[in-house]
A and B are shown apart, each in its own frame.
Chain A
């Protein structure tokens, strides 16, 4: 099959990036889809041939990822997010408006072929909610009028202006903020290597390469008390120290930029405004464990960010910060960005590696852990983008300095994306241990429209919810755990008194059922069952015995699933049933106190 030259070049480039050809499969499918609009048999066969797979292997991989499609979409594929953060700010109404305006439903294409519509899960625009994507462009802080104007422009053949960076990232700093990793946000051309170099860029790398041994780097990381910012909070220095020193195998650094936890949009600004900081962090990690190859796995929806990161990687190569003999120290490191294709599960570290190897994103059996058996069966350090972005500051200013910014065992600062019913949704960098109440009332400007607070999701929708009377808590891993929740991903969702908690539970379950990979029984069947049950319940078809059943089914998943996705679905549900049981009981009396029952369908 004859490919357009640009795609041909892209394919060649992709195939050269990985030790195993199959790794190029998912990016090849994504770029081919961008070119042709969808993946025809012919295109897949061509890709199969090039990566040396059979059609089954290609189609089963394709079938896993929600962004990949086998049928044409419209010229403009409208993807409206209705996940929690967007829902709280009118995402459902917006989605209905778009349906009406375009005259098509979920996954349908307008007769002219101009538009297609998809209701999508969290796209990482939580602080700009409600949001949608037109193809890969983000449009945020929408309302029906703004949407109409976007469609009018599209119909007129004009290109409406998408957001340049995520809404809520650039704002006057609150005095409580401690900018460490976000300090270059807002500097003009901050993605440019020269600008980065003028702002302390690559100084930490120079120090790490010229003045420190790998052991010293790891010690410094340990001293910093930096804990993984993806959500689990595992001490980073310790993770790096687990990588075996004496091995003949290559080692890898993976940056997890698959940010998909509903309510979380803090890796996005780090990558779109400061990609060199991430690259530098990866290089430091590479030096520390003796890796010479890294990949930045970025969720497919963040397509424009992949371009930004690839541009930055190109600059770093050109200036000798990547490639052979970096800074004349004999240190070699190769790095590339890798696109996902629509799968929350691929944010789980072992599923991410499977995905990077060109397979369905199923998690792996642990042990062994990635530090010994990771990507391609080799020792691998996989860290969240934010975690790696923190390494340069720690190396430059010292682990002790960083640790002192936070609380004991919870070093430094972290980025929060605060969304929902709040006056100033946005991205804020605050020291670890910062008081949640203050975060809501002071930093994020208090409750929107003066409504009363009902609940807080403290770190992405997989965390047990906190009720309004639980928010006087220090936001660090241990304090939040003590009150029965988790610090999680830094995605705070603020929920006001007018929100139906049954509806919220239902929406959360829709997400996890949609994203369950299907590998293990309890998560696969449990999330699907609960989704149907909660739909029925919220729709007025609930029975008294359903309330304990929701609770029990969630508990039957909890702790028994293959990976934490089952827990992620169970925990918020259990907390909602426990803390807002009366709202479920209200529904039994035939009504939702907050709004007419409505189904959000099509997310499956």
Chain B
């Protein structure tokens, strides 16, 4: 990057050196000087509409808006003069003239920017003696309400919807003092329901259908947790009162997601109180699942597991882990499977080939990972497959923001339409599922395409070859050998090429990193590697076999074929995920244990169901699809269910008493995380930063490159969730389901909203 010129100017008699082009409002902020504003919002287009940020500039007769004023050499700015104070007071007075003073019942009361500004800069009395304007409140969707009288027309919502989300669902109606915000259908919103407009609203004009009139903001405690839905790891701040999550947002912008949250992060927390939640252990008696005590349930599991183990050996047992439980839980589960039960039949629903990328890159993987920030900062992004708008909303946000802020070039290869392609500098639409073939052509020149495809691929290739510092993102369409092709191509590009595999769920990456794989130990250590087997065997108090086990799909097939005798499923719904034919034949298993929040298709067939806590109800760490690790916290008491961590730990003690395996002595997730940090490749991250609420980049990498790595056929596939679905968990998010869009994802199919595609 070219050196940015520095300039020096004066603000309130203090000299200040900033890069040329800095806005005075930002420079002042850097100096700790508040210049109040409503319409100014970093990262969105400038408006200079609210006139709150007026400042004095020497030799300029009129007050200037600090939000549009670019600091230049020698400029003298004053933000603290009687004239400026009066201007602020006057603006507040104007704003309050039509603003209803219903603060006592307004959702925003206590965290309202207008309230704060009035407190700080406003008049202590009102001179407005006329009738206020009034309009009735409008319900735009089950999640978004608009109260026009409260609206101060800062147009942040309009801009974030247009510029930030590229949805353009909000506009302005009427004019002058009668101006209002308009949704894109008469009185109704048809959009991604992300709720960004609600969070960005400085006042209580846009309110959340889930939160309105529930509580006062100061009555809640705030717990920052990574979102439990997709793999992007957005931080969502849960507002909790009386052991209930009432709100989720990210107003402090502290996570990898900045201010971004999608509908799932913002509204998809109500599963915690879903009436269908399993809150008590269940044991199958006379063919029916019936409530049981924890003691009975755990004793039952231990006893029967021990029986199966004795009778048929460890390899008769299959273990399926989760892509949304914590790293610590998956780590314990791995130990439980391999060291306690003595089986390598352990896997999970893999939604991206993380292992493949680690294997093919080898030790290089440590420095070749694209973070969420890299996606924003990169000069260019090559996106292959995956409908990021739906499947990886933060990635899509990062791409859009990069394109908007610094003209990131997006190169997209996709076999299906995606809204993100509107941002693309070069887009290649391959045949459905043809992404891997296109990558192969990029790497080797091999392959045949329709002429239009090969022409546009050719153009894309030559454009990419001129780029440097490219972030390459790919979904499940690229796995095994296709990753090898991709890396071969990527390594020929200039600068530093970084990669990100795009998975589906909140800890998809963590599950792979923790070795919930039939052929890998934590940190992608190969089972073939004796040292690694012995290292983990010693740590876990058991012997680990060298032969890889069955894949998840293989286990399900073996189970219905009565080749497996017991299965232990934690936070997964393999019956549904793998579309198991004749699932009732699972009854042939001598034991099926399921940890879950709900009676999923798999749990319904279990012999014992243990009610599990969600990630909002327990402590631990999660790794997002980029490898960024964050802590999750127990925001509420799950009232009945227990964390998978506790369940596995207790069970290990129970089995230990029966002589199977050694009890887990790690009493807390923190202790387990310490063990992970010391023993899992790439996980030795700074705890201080995590404790402070930050994200730390992990870098699980294989010891040496394995260019011939292949993922087992059918083992890696995406669920193609959209903004309103979230695997099995999504079914229990009734607020998401209450939107019209949940029934008809509009930007992909419905002709009625095709015009959204307009740019």
CB of B220, distance to nearest CB on chain A (Å): 31
Q: Are B153 and A536 neighbours in the complex by a CB distance under 8 Å?
A: no
B window 166-184: CB within 8 A of A: 168-179, 182-184
B window 26-61: CB within 8 A of A: 46-52, 54, 61
Tell me the bound Cα distance from A343 to B176 in angstroms: 11
Interface residue A515 (Cβ < 8 Å from any Cβ of B)? yes
**Which chain B residue has the least Cβ–Cβ distance from A559?**
B62
Q: Are B51 and A522 neighbours in the complex by a CB distance under 8 Å?
A: yes
Tell me the bound Cα distance from A587 to B186 in angstroms: 45
Interface residue B63 (Cβ < 8 Å from any Cβ of A)? yes
**Which chain A residue has the least Cβ–Cβ distance from B92?**
A521
Known contacts A532-B130, A556-B90, A517 near B51 by CB under 8 Å = no
Interface residue B432 (Cβ < 8 Å from any Cβ of A)? no
B window 245-291: CB within 8 A of A: none
Interface string of A55-68 (1 = CB under 8 A from B): 11101100110000
Partner-binding segment picked from A1-9, A406-414, A523-531: A523-531
Q: Are A518 and B168 neighbours in the complex by a CB distance under 8 Å?
A: no
Interface residue A120 (Cβ < 8 Å from any Cβ of B)? no
Tell me the bound Cα distance from A358 to B62 in angstroms: 31
Interface string of B74-117 (1 = CB under 8 A from A): 00000000000001001101110110000000000000000000
Contact of A560 among B51, B171, B178, B184 (CB under 8 A): B51
Q: Are A54 and B168 neighbours in the complex by a CB distance under 8 Å?
A: yes
Q: Are B182 and A516 neighbours in the complex by a CB distance under 8 Å?
A: no
Interface residue B311 (Cβ < 8 Å from any Cβ of A)? no
Interface residue A193 (Cβ < 8 Å from any Cβ of B)? no
Q: Are B175 and A64 neighbours in the complex by a CB distance under 8 Å?
A: yes
Tell me the bound Cα distance from A539 to B514 in angstroms: 79
Interface residue A213 (Cβ < 8 Å from any Cβ of B)? no
Interface residue A594 (Cβ < 8 Å from any Cβ of B)? no
Tell me the bound Cα distance from A399 to B381 in angstroms: 57
Q: Are B93 and A524 neighbours in the complex by a CB distance under 8 Å?
A: no
A window 527-578: CB within 8 A of B: 527-529, 532-533, 536, 543, 545-546, 549, 556, 559-562
Tell me the bound Cα distance from A559 to B64 in angstroms: 10
Q: Are B172 and A513 neighbours in the complex by a CB distance under 8 Å?
A: no
Interface residue B710 (Cβ < 8 Å from any Cβ of A)? no
Q: Are A524 and B153 neighbours in the complex by a CB distance under 8 Å?
A: yes
Interface residue B511 (Cβ < 8 Å from any Cβ of A)? no
Which of B48, B91, B152, B755 has the largest number of chain A CB atoms within 10 A?
A: B755
CB of A567, distance to nearest CB on chain B (Å): 10
User: Hey, which chain B residues are within 8 Å of A52, CB to CB?
Assistant: 755, 758
Total A-B Cβ pairs within 8 A: 134
Interface residue A326 (Cβ < 8 Å from any Cβ of B)? no
Interface residue B5 (Cβ < 8 Å from any Cβ of A)? no
Q: Are B46 and A365 neighbours in the complex by a CB distance under 8 Å?
A: yes
Q: Are B176 and A522 neighbours in the complex by a CB distance under 8 Å?
A: no
User: Hey, which chain B residues are within 8 Å of A517, CB to CB?
Assistant: 175-176
Q: Are B184 and A522 neighbours in the complex by a CB distance under 8 Å?
A: no
User: Hey, which chain A residues are within 8 Å of B131, CB to CB?
Assistant: 532
User: Hey, which chain B residues are within 8 Å of A304, CB to CB?
Assistant: none
Q: How many residues of B contact A (CB 8 A)?
A: 48
Interface residue A243 (Cβ < 8 Å from any Cβ of B)? no
Tell me the bound Cα distance from A514 to B98 in angstroms: 16
Interface residue B756 (Cβ < 8 Å from any Cβ of A)? yes
Which of A56, A514, A532, A533 has the largest number of chain B CB atoms within 10 A?
A: A56
Tell me the bound Cα distance from A64 to B178 in angstroms: 10
B window 701-759: CB within 8 A of A: 753, 755-756, 758
**Which chain B residue has the least Cβ–Cβ distance from A361?**
B175
Known contacts A63-B182, A522-B94, A524-B177, A529 near B51 by CB under 8 Å = no
Contact of B178 among A48, A55, A604 (CB under 8 A): A604
Q: Are A518 and B129 neighbours in the complex by a CB distance under 8 Å?
A: no
User: Hey, which chain A residues are within 8 Å of B128, CB to CB?
Assistant: 529
Tell me the bound Cα distance from A178 to B444 in angstroms: 81
Q: Are A521 and B175 neighbours in the complex by a CB distance under 8 Å?
A: no
Q: Are B51 and A561 neighbours in the complex by a CB distance under 8 Å?
A: yes
Q: Are B91 and A521 neighbours in the complex by a CB distance under 8 Å?
A: yes
Tell me the bound Cα distance from A48 to B128 in angstroms: 42
Contact of B168 among A48, A56, A365, A545 (CB under 8 A): A56
Instruction: Kindly state the interface size class of chain A when it binds its partner.
Output: 35 or more
Tell me the bound Cα distance from A64 to B93 in angstroms: 26
Q: Are A57 and B168 neighbours in the complex by a CB distance under 8 Å?
A: yes
**Which chain A residue has the least Cβ–Cβ distance from B98?**
A525
Q: Are B68 and A365 neighbours in the complex by a CB distance under 8 Å?
A: yes
Q: Are A59 and B176 neighbours in the complex by a CB distance under 8 Å?
A: no
Interface residue A473 (Cβ < 8 Å from any Cβ of B)? no
A window 495-526: CB within 8 A of B: 513-522, 524-526
Known contacts A52-B758, A521-B95, A365 near B48 by CB under 8 Å = yes
Known contacts A59-B173, A63-B175, A560 near B87 by CB under 8 Å = yes
Interface residue B127 (Cβ < 8 Å from any Cβ of A)? yes
Tell me the bound Cα distance from A521 to B154 in angstroms: 9
CB of A568, distance to nearest CB on chain B (Å): 14
Tell me the bound Cα distance from A513 to B54 in angstroms: 23
Tell me the bound Cα distance from A527 to B176 in angstroms: 9
Q: Are A60 and B171 neighbours in the complex by a CB distance under 8 Å?
A: yes
Q: Are B130 and A536 neighbours in the complex by a CB distance under 8 Å?
A: yes
CB of A263, distance to nearest CB on chain B (Å): 21
CB of B369, distance to nearest CB on chain A (Å): 39
Q: Are B176 and A524 neighbours in the complex by a CB distance under 8 Å?
A: yes
Q: Are A556 and B94 neighbours in the complex by a CB distance under 8 Å?
A: yes
User: Hey, which chain B residues are within 8 Å of A525, CB to CB?
Assistant: 94-95, 97-98, 177
Q: Are A556 and B755 neighbours in the complex by a CB distance under 8 Å?
A: no
Tell me the bound Cα distance from A60 to B161 in angstroms: 15
User: Hey, which chain A residues are within 8 Å of B90, CB to CB?
Assistant: 522, 556, 560
CB of A215, distance to nearest CB on chain B (Å): 30
User: Hey, which chain A residues are within 8 Å of B50, CB to CB?
Assistant: 520-521
Contact of B48 among A513, A516, A546, A562 (CB under 8 A): A562
CB of A561, distance to nearest CB on chain B (Å): 7
Q: Are A516 and B173 neighbours in the complex by a CB distance under 8 Å?
A: no
Q: Are B184 and A533 neighbours in the complex by a CB distance under 8 Å?
A: no
User: Hey, which chain B residues are within 8 Å of A519, CB to CB?
Assistant: 47, 49
CB of B131, distance to nearest CB on chain A (Å): 7
User: Hey, which chain B residues are within 8 Å of A163, CB to CB?
Assistant: none
Q: Are B755 and A48 neighbours in the complex by a CB distance under 8 Å?
A: yes
User: Hey, which chain A residues are within 8 Å of B46, CB to CB?
Assistant: 365
User: Hey, which chain A residues are within 8 Å of B174, CB to CB?
Assistant: 63-64, 518
Contact of B51 among A343, A515, A562, A604 (CB under 8 A): A562
Task: Pick 19 A–B contacts, CB within 8 A, sort by A.
Answer: A54-B758, A56-B183, A56-B184, A60-B172, A63-B173, A360-B175, A514-B176, A520-B51, A524-B94, A524-B153, A524-B176, A526-B94, A527-B176, A528-B98, A528-B177, A543-B129, A559-B61, A559-B62, A559-B63
**A-B complex: 7 closest residue pairs judged by Cβ atoms:** A60-B171, A518-B179, A528-B177, A54-B755, A532-B130, A525-B94, A56-B184
Given contacts A54-B755, A524-B176, A525-B177, 12 further A-B contacts (CB under 8 A): A53-B755, A56-B169, A60-B182, A517-B175, A518-B179, A519-B49, A520-B51, A521-B49, A521-B94, A527-B176, A529-B97, A543-B129
Interface residues of A (CB under 8 A from B): 48, 52-57, 59-60, 63-64, 343, 360, 365, 513-522, 524-529, 532-533, 536, 543, 545-546, 549, 556, 559-562, 604
